Amino acid sequence: MANLTLVILMLVSTTMGSYARKQGPNGELEWFQNICSGKEKVAKVHFFVQDVLGGDKPTVYEVARGSITSNSATSFGQVRVLDDLLTVGPDKDSKELGRAQGLITSADFETDALAMNLNFVFTSGRYNGSTISILGRNQILKAERELAVVGGTGVFRMARGYAITKTHSYDSATAYGVLEYTIYVTYVEDPTSSLLASE
In the complex, the residues that contact ligand NAG under the rule CB under 6 A are 18, 123-124, 128-129
CB of 193 to ligand NAG, least distance (A): 15
Decide whether 58 or 129 has the Cβ nearer to ligand NAG.
Answer: 129
| CA–CA dist 106, 130 (Å, integer) | 28
Decide whether 16 or 114 has the Cβ nearer to ligand NAG.
Answer: 16
CB of 8 to ligand NAG, least distance (A): 16
For 1, 108, 128, 187, the CA distances from 148, given in Å and listed in that order, are: 25, 18, 22, 15
CB of 5 to ligand NAG, least distance (A): 14
CB of 96 to ligand NAG, least distance (A): 8
Decide whether 98 or 151 has the Cβ nearer to ligand NAG.
Answer: 98
CB of 149 to ligand NAG, least distance (A): 22
Decide whether 116 or 155 has the Cβ nearer to ligand NAG.
Answer: 155
CB of 128 to ligand NAG, least distance (A): 4
Decide whether 98 or 161 has the Cβ nearer to ligand NAG.
Answer: 98
**Radius of gyration of the chain measured on its C-alpha atoms:** 19
Decide whether 116 or 121 has the Cβ nearer to ligand NAG.
Answer: 121
Please report which residue ranges of the chain form alpha helices under DSSP H.
2-11, 28-36, 191-198
Q: Are 16 and 187 in contact (CB under 8 A)?
A: yes
Nearest residue (beta carbon) to ligand NAG: 124
3-state DSSP assignment of residue 125: helix
Q: What spatial distance separates the first Cα and last Cα of the chain, rounded to whole Å?
A: 34
Read out DSSP for 15-68? T-SS-----BTTBHHHHHHHHHTSPEEEEEEEEEEEEE-SSSS-SEEEEE--TT
